[in-house]
Amino acid sequence: MVAYKLMRLKKDGNLGSLFIERKADIPKHEWLTAEFNPNKNFAPRKGWHCTFTPNAPHLKEELANGEKRVWVKVEVQDWEKYDRPESQGGAWILANKMMVLEVISWEIMQN
């Protein structure tokens, strides 16, 4: 199934996670299996956190260090729906497997 994920576009052009395991690069066109990496600042939820539509109104595009957030189109497998408030984009997808297909523009979020 096609879904969307908000990621960091690093200064070196690689993609990375917004919050968990920030140092790791996330490659395109490779199946990735979710790992469980609990962090004291975030609720423990295993899975790649994706959305049904590119919508995350609680997050901004610019980051303090000059990096940007970008939407990526992903394919997901072995996933479950996780209900969230509309202020956080509504339902999330927690996927065990994910493959980044392509980077799309932040502006697509603006509908």
Say if residue 21's pLDDT is above 80.
yes
Q: Is 47 left (phi over 0), alpha (psi -120 to 50) or beta?
A: left
DSSP calls for 29-45 = SS-EE------TTS---
Please say whether the dihedral angle defined by the alpha carbons of residues 3, 7, 10 and 16, taken in this order, is positive or negative.
negative
Q: Which domain holds residue 38?
A: 2-110
If we measure between CA atoms, which residue out of 3, 6, 4, 1 comes closest to residue 77? 1
56-111 per-position pLDDT tens digit: 877 766 666 777 889 999 999 999 999 988 888 889 999 999 999 999 875 544 44
The domain tally of the chain equals 1
φ and ψ at 109, to 5 degrees?
-65, -25
- The pTM assigned to this predicted structure is 0.85
